[in-house]
């Protein structure tokens, strides 16, 4: 079994009151190339910064070779970082930049005095040793002869190499790389990817790499940690993450996917797009599932031979394949194929059982903690919504003074009653008129599900999420207000439930 | 008829006129007066007199010492303030900065007067008798008080521009907080130090209002000297002004104030 060089145990991080890392636990094997992958703001850089020591976890532990280093300052950790913007010292030349860490270092040397007694001395590295090490680091990054150059005369790619040399010259146990290729152009980036991978092989140390570029992650990593919203979504090899995404977020983020709602209709049988398919995943009968099909897993054939039939509505040439979009009933499916088709052509489509991935839907309903107000409305998720409070007590009604009269004739003042609020996935509508709904927020996620979009709207203050389906196309980060019809808000009393437990 | 072409160069004319009449001509006049005697004949008597008169030379030296002490004390106070403010994550740090700069907006003479009254109060009622004759101390105190904002502002803006990831990189490479300060903060804040020093050192050599009001007219600095000479002997006054010019030129040159790149990186008010 491989040795765990870094282990995070239930690490949580708040910036002021914002939760950025939510109870993250994982380990990194020694010598591994591991990538934190996720959209911006998912917490991947924060995780890296906590390993480097620039940020301290609010709770939880970070272990290095089994020792707790959670609170150790960065200069005491045997890790080095390649920064996003390189962070080279502008007042030093290339040699001085790379030698910076070596000049700070002290090594223990053993000497023997005239009496033959051995004694130890903590000493700085000699000039000669430093020059040798810098020279070796420069040759690793292919920058021999650049020692005297000033940082400002270097190109982006050369600065990048100096930044890498400055980190690896200290022979760290772990090299942390924070989106190091983000500022380079595409061709340069591809070359550096290969070089970094090669460097990793030669140096044999652990690389922890942060990127939002899924292709980069797939190309370079031994292991990928997919993160979103401060939570680890999936950990696995690139192939495993691509072929067996554990949820719709991963499926959507890594590569192209067709994501649809389906229902399990039998043993390893799932129904979606109006047809029943064989699959490999087992789920309970009649369970609603998310179905993920990669575009390259849909095979085109003659219309009469296909389980699904549809009409080609667009064809885009992508270099090595065509991206064909087909209309199947009210669904749109994306197919990748080396064969081209014409727009308007009728085609048949088949999907092999191993091309169909079923996932438990993350969201089946929206649940909030709410409070009944004076006017028999309910307050939750930074807003106030009209609702029918009589559903809390069967057979009750509201009298003229806005009191609730139960079936038994009891008079109840519901003000400040804590309730559980439940809203279905299809009962929410949004509007760009901020005044139209009960609360407002920003769209934080959009996933296309073949015939509709699944949106998540997050309120700004308490960060409550509304998950729902809509036919309309919105943009991520749109500011919208959330509308819920009065009869679609399901309320239940909270304290009653607690008693049941 | 052909209209004269209006080009961008035309816009320079007022500035060139200003330069000629208010910079170049006065300089030539000073040069002329410095090397002539009362009968307007070319002579080096002023030059010889100046450098053979110990009182004149000691005034220059005193001025230099006062300016030097003022600059060093200002720097010692301003550097930590600017460093702490620039690196703090306080949302309202500009308020604190403002409090340091605010005195600049109150009339200069009023401020110096206020300090004089404060010293008088301390020496008569506060029992601090030694203050009454501590003329040099009071002069330096007043100058530091007056010129401190000119030191803080350039330092603050320069330090604000230092990329915080450089501090992180330094710590990451194993440097302690102290080593980071000496090897990253100090060298990168040098442009700010230079412009701060220039902005404090030069006025404190010539600003005789402070020395007059706080030094009981016992402290004579070069500025006062020049002022007095221009009352009766323009020739000697011009010579002193010329010597001061050379001193200022040399000190600016020594601190690297003429390097275009440095001033661009440094902060200007």
Taking contacts as CB-CB distances below 8 angstroms, the residues of chain B near A101 are 173-175
The pLDDT, as a whole number, for residue B3 is: 66
The pLDDT, as a whole number, for residue B4 is: 67
Q: What angle do CA B85, B90, B96 make, to 5 degrees?
A: 50
Taking contacts as CB-CB distances below 8 angstroms, the residues of chain A near B187 are 91
Contact A80 B173 (CB under 8 A): yes
Confidence of residue B264 (pLDDT cuts 50, 70, 90): very low
The pLDDT, as a whole number, for residue B262 is: 43
Give the nearest chain A residue to B180 (CA atoms). Answer: A104
Contact B166 A80 (CB under 8 A): no
Taking contacts as CB-CB distances below 8 angstroms, the residues of chain B near A100 are 170, 173, 175, 183
The Cα–Cα gap between A152 and A156 comes to 10
The pLDDT, as a whole number, for residue A175 is: 95
B257: pLDDT strictly greater than 80: no
For A168, phi then psi, to 5°, come to -75, -20
3-state DSSP assignment of residue A318: coil
pLDDT one-digit tens code per residue, B71-95? 999 999 999 999 999 988 877 888 8
Contact A52 B172 (CB under 8 A): yes
B269: pLDDT strictly greater than 60: no
The Cα–Cα gap between A274 and A329 comes to 9
How many Cβ atoms from other residues are within 10 Å of residue A46's Cβ? 23
Token pair for A238: 């690139």
pLDDT one-digit tens code per residue, A32-72? 999 999 988 889 999 999 999 999 999 999 999 989 999 99
Q: What angle do CA B22, B26, B29 make, to 5 degrees?
A: 160
How many Cβ atoms from other residues are within 10 Å of residue B193's Cβ? 20
Give the nearest chain A residue to B190 (CA atoms). Answer: A91
Inter-helix orientation angle B54-87/B222-232, to 10°: 140
The Cα–Cα gap between A150 and A43 comes to 35
Contact A100 B173 (CB under 8 A): yes
Q: What average pLDDT score do residues B33-53 get?
A: 86
How close A170 comes to chain B (CA, Å)? 8
Surface-to-core class of residue A241, CB atoms within 10 Å of its CB (0-12 exposed, 13-18 middle, 19+ buried): buried
Predicted structure pTM score: 0.76
Taking contacts as CB-CB distances below 8 angstroms, the residues of chain A near B176 are 75, 104
The pLDDT, as a whole number, for residue B18 is: 93
Give the nearest chain B residue to A88 (CA atoms). Answer: B166
The Cα–Cα gap between B253 and B40 comes to 33
Contact B170 A100 (CB under 8 A): yes
The pLDDT, as a whole number, for residue A241 is: 92
Taking contacts as CB-CB distances below 8 angstroms, the residues of chain A near B265 are none
Under DSSP, the state recorded for A83 is B
How many Cβ atoms from other residues are within 10 Å of residue A257's Cβ? 22
Highest mean pLDDT among B44-48, B88-92, B265-269: B44-48
The pLDDT, as a whole number, for residue A62 is: 94
The Cα–Cα gap between A73 and B174 comes to 9
Q: What is the pLDDT along chain A (501 residues), one digit of tens a residue?
A: 568 999 999 999 998 888 899 999 999 999 999 999 998 888 999 999 999 999 999 999 999 998 999 999 999 999 999 998 899 999 999 999 999 999 988 877 778 777 777 877 788 888 999 999 999 999 988 898 999 999 999 988 899 999 999 999 999 999 999 998 887 888 888 888 999 999 999 989 999 999 999 889 999 999 999 999 899 999 999 999 998 888 888 988 888 888 888 888 888 889 888 888 998 888 888 888 889 899 999 999 998 888 899 999 999 998 889 999 999 888 889 999 998 889 999 999 999 998 898 888 877 788 888 888 877 888 888 888 888 888 888 878 888 777 888 878 788 888 888 888 888 888 888 888 888 888 888 888 888 887 888 888 888 887 888 888 888 888 888 888 888 888 888 888 876 544 433
Q: What average pLDDT score do residues B134-154 get?
A: 90
**Interface residue B231 vs chain A (CB under 8 A):** no
Which CA distances in Å does A477 have to A442, A443, A460, A499, B186?
5, 5, 11, 41, 42
Q: What average pLDDT score do residues B194-223 get?
A: 84
Confidence of residue B268 (pLDDT cuts 50, 70, 90): very low
Under DSSP, the state recorded for A56 is -
B20: pLDDT strictly greater than 90: yes
Q: What average pLDDT score do residues B112-134 get?
A: 83
Token pair for B199: 């902005």
User: Which residue, among A16, A51, A101, A153, would best test binding to B if mutated, counting the most B CBs under 10 Å from its CB?
Assistant: A101
Q: Which residues of A touch B (CB under 8 A)?
A: 52-54, 73-75, 79-81, 83-85, 87-91, 100-101, 104-105, 166-167, 170
Nearest to A81 among B163, B172, B179 (CB): B172
In 3-state terms chain B splits into helix, strand, coil percentages (rounded to 5) of 80, 0, 20
B222: pLDDT strictly greater than 90: no
Contact B171 A80 (CB under 8 A): no
**Interface residue B184 vs chain A (CB under 8 A):** yes
Q: What average pLDDT score do residues B161-175 get?
A: 93
Token pair for A480: 């919208």
Q: What average pLDDT score do residues B119-136 get?
A: 81
The pLDDT, as a whole number, for residue B212 is: 85
What chain B holds in terms of domains, given with CATH numbers, is: 59-267 (1.10.3720.10)
pLDDT one-digit tens code per residue, A152-202? 999 888 999 999 999 999 999 999 999 988 878 888 888 889 999 999 999
Whether this model's ipTM surpasses 0.95 comes out as: no
Q: Which residues pair with A32 in a beta bridge?
A: none
**Interface residue B168 vs chain A (CB under 8 A):** yes
Q: Which residues pair with A334 in a beta bridge?
A: A325
**Interface residue B175 vs chain A (CB under 8 A):** yes
Closest listed residue to residue A25, CA positions, set A238, A235, A287? A235
**Interface residue B165 vs chain A (CB under 8 A):** yes
The pLDDT, as a whole number, for residue B256 is: 64
What chain A holds in terms of domains, given with CATH numbers, is: 1-78+172-243 (3.40.50.300), 90-155 (no CATH), 256-359 (2.40.50.140), 366-500 (2.40.50.140)
Contact B174 A104 (CB under 8 A): yes
């Amino acid at each position: 079994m491989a040795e765990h060089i870094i282990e995070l145990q239930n690490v949580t991080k708040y910036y002021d009151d914002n939760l950025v890392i939510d109870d993250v636990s994982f380990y990194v094997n020694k010598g591994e190339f591991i990538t934190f992958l996720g959209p911006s703001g998912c917490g991947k850089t924060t995780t890296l910064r906590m390993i480097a020591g620039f940020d301290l976890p609010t709770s939880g532990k970070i272990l290095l070779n089994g020792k707790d280093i959670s609170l150790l300052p960065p200069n005491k950790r045997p890790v080095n970082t390649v920064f996003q913007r390189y962070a080279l010292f502008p007042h030093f030349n290339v040699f001085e930049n790379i030698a910076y860490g070596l000049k700070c270092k002290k090594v223990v040397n053993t000497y023997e005095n005239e009496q033959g007694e051995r004694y130890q001395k903590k000493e700085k590295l000699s000039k000669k040793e430093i020059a040798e090490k810098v020279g070796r680091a420069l040759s690793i990054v292919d920058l021999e002869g650049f020692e005297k150059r000033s940082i400002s005369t270097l190109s982006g790619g050369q600065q990048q190499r100096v930044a890498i040399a400055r980190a690896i010259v200290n022979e760290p146990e772990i090299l942390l790389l924070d989106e190091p290729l983000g500022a380079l152009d595409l061709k340069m980036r591809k070359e550096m990817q290969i070089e970094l991978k090669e460097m990793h092989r030669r140096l044999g140390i652990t690389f922890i790499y942060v990127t939002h570029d899924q292709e980069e992650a797939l190309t370079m990593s031994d292991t990928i940690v997919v993160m979103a919203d401060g939570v680890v979504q999936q950990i696995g090899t690139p192939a495993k993450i691509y072929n067996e995404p554990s949820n719709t977020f991963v499926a959507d983020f890594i590569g192209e996917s067709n994501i649809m709602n389906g229902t399990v209709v039998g043993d390893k049988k799932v129904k979606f797009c109006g047809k029943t398919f064989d699959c490999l995943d087992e789920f309970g009968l009649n369970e609603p599932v998310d179905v993920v099909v990669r575009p390259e897993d849909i095979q085109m054939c003659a219309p009469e031979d296909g389980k699904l039939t549809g009409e080609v509505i667009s064809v885009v040439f992508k270099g090595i394949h065509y991206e064909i979009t087909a209309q199947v009933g009210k669904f749109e499916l994306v197919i990748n194929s080396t064969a081209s088709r014409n727009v308007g052509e009728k085609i048949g489509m088949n999907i092999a059982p191993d091309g169909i991935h079923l996932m438990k839907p993350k969201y089946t309903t929206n649940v909030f903690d709410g409070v009944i107000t004076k006017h028999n409305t309910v307050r939750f998720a930074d807003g106030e919504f009209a609702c029918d409070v009589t559903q809390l007590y069967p057979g009750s009604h509201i009298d003229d003074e806005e009191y609730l009269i139960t079936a038994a004739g009891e008079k109840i003042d519901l003000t400040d009653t804590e309730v559980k609020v439940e809203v279905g996935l299809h009962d929410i509508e949004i509007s760009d008129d901020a005044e139209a709904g009960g609360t407002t927020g920003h769209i934080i996620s959009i996933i296309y599900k073949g015939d509709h979009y699944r949106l998540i709207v997050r309120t700004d203050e308490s960060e409550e999420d509304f998950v729902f389906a809509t036919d309309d196309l919105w943009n991520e980060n749109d500011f919208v207000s959330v509308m819920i019809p009065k009869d679609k808000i399901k309320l239940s009393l909270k304290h009653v439930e607690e008693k049941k437990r | 008829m052909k209209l004269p072409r209006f080009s961008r160069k035309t816009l320079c004319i007022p500035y060139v006129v200003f330069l000629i009449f208010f910079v170049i001509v006065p300089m030539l006049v000073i040069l002329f007066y410095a090397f002539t005697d009362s009968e307007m004949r070319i002579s080096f008597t002023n030059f010889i007199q100046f450098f053979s008169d110990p009182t004149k030379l000691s005034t220059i030296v005193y001025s230099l010492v006062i300016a030097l002490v003022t600059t060093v004390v200002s720097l010692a106070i301003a550097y930590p303030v600017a460093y702490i403010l620039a690196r703090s994550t306080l949302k309202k740090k500009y308020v604190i900065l403002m409090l340091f700069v605010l005195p600049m907006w109150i009339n200069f003479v009023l401020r110096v007067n206020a300090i004089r009254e404060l010293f008088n109060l301390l020496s008569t009622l506060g029992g601090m008798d030694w203050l009454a004759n501590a003329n040099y101390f009071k002069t330096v105190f007043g100058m530091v008080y007056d010129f401190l904002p000119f030191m803080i502002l350039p330092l603050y803006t320069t330090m604000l521009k230092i990329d915080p990831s450089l501090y992180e990189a330094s710590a990451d490479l194993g440097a302690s907080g102290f080593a980071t300060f000496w090897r990253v903060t100090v060298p990168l804040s040098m442009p700010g130090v230079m412009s701060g020093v220039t902005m404090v050192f030069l006025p404190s050599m010539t600003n005789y209002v402070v020395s007059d009001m706080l030094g009981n007219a016992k402290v004579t600095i070069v500025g006062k000297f020049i002022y007095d000479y221009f009352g009766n002997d323009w020739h000697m006054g011009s010579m002193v002004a010329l010597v001061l010019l050379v001193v200022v030129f040399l000190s600016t040159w020594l601190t690297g104030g003429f390097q275009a790149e440095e001033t661009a990186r440094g902060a200007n008010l």
